[in-house]
Every structure is written in C-alpha cells, then in structure tokens.
Amino acid sequence: MRHSEFWQLMEDEFGAGYARSVARDQVVAALGGRTADEALAAHVPPRQVWFALCDVMDVPSERRWGRADRKPDRRGPGR
C-alpha cells in the first residue's frame, strides 16, 4: 500500500478533516504507542498502520479496503 492509498482510505472512512485528526492524535498500542503520523514517519508500512487503526477505531471488516465504488477490479482489464 502506498501512502496515497493510506490517506484515501483514511478520508473515505473518517472524512478529510477527521482523518487528519485521527492520524495526528490517536495513539495505537499496536504501533508501539505511536500515532499513525509518528508510525508513518518511522517508516512503518502504511498497510500495517491502516489495519492497526482499523482495529482501534472499530472499522468494520467490510470497509477495511475502502468504499465499494473505489475498490479496484481485480479481474483484470476489459472484464
């Protein structure tokens, strides 16, 4: 997962303004007691940060890969 994908998932789930607040303020034990911003700055993979936040923020499993209208078509081109 790229950083841009992480931020898109954050904004889709929490809204643009609240996503930044969550990343800045929510301390996550699974990230070594760091916030998402601190973990990303420490080179923790964005995917790991995202799923740790999902656990802490009780994001339902069906939304952990983002909104249905943004999910990539994994069947390949032309399908």
Domain chopping of the chain, boundaries? 3-58
As a whole-number percent, the residues of the chain with pLDDT over 90 amount to 77
Q: Which tokens sit at 47?
A: 């995917």
pLDDT in tens, 45-74: 999 999 999 999 999 999 898 776 665 554
Spatial distance between the Cα atoms of 76 and 53, rounded to a whole number of angstroms: 30
Average pLDDT of the chain, as a whole number: 89
| Band of pLDDT at residue 78, cut at 50, 70 and 90 | very low
Q: Return the pLDDT at 69.
A: 62
pTM: 0.82
Q: Which of 52, 74, 59, 79 is nearest to 12 (CA)?
A: 59
- CA angle (61 as vertex; 58, 67 as ends), nearest 5: 100
Report the pLDDT value the prediction gives residue 66, as an integer from 0 to 100: 79
